[in-house]
Amino acid sequence: MRIIPAIDIIDGKCVRLSKGDYATKKIYNESPLEVAKQFEAHGIKHLHLVDLDGAKASHIVNYKVLEKIASQTSLQIDFGGGLKSDDDLKIAFDSGANQITGGSIAVKNPETFKSWIQKYGADKIILGADALGEKIAISGWLEESDKELIPFVQAYKEDGIKYVICTDISKDGMLEGPSFELYKRLLLEVPKINLIASGGISTFDEIPKLAEMGCEGTIIGKAIYENRISLKQLEEYILKN
């Protein structure tokens, strides 16, 4: 299972939120590049980079941060937050993203999102399926849609999606553990997707449990920044696996 630390960006700084609430913003580092280099130094190969300003503005904002990390580390970066147009996508890939994550766009403009899968291929486009009470949330989690999580993922699997990041918003940033039951059901009902678990990871023991369930990756954010999970532990896990 891939270990994918998260860097969330507001005003070019590395921050974390609780349950996606911008009012809970906590700055952890002024330099996302410095954080990314620490990850790389501990054998981490992947990074989940989220443009929270972009999510709010509905267009890419922090692409310079992406460019800096992509050009000065060898991390494989998946980038999300506010990607709404073909131009946004071009900027993200030109700035060094290996994959992009589309969430709101997949709900509000499915034709555009499907055209991205066709144009760039299913290895480059990740479906962001972020849910609150199993309803998909959009616009930086500021809005709830009428889409039910499992049918939403199933429909996009039929359209060729291979990778899905699923965040239970009620768990995100709360350090209370991930939604094991939700992921179990998702993997059962939509088999053969690469499910990336996100939200609520709080202790190292949860990581092998997610791997055993069949998750392809896990995104870890606040647990790293609050020293609940050390980079050393992640480095040892990566070396063993």
> What residues act catalytically?
8, 130
Residue 16: Cβ within 10 Å count? 21
C-alpha to C-alpha distance for 117 and 122, rounded to whole angstroms: 5
* Class of residue 238 by CB neighbours under 10 A (exposed 0-12, middle 13-18, buried 19+): middle
Beta-strand ranges (E) seen in 74-188 are: 76-80, 99-102, 125-132, 135-138, 143-148, 163-168
Cβ-based neighbour number of residue 206 at 10 Å? 19
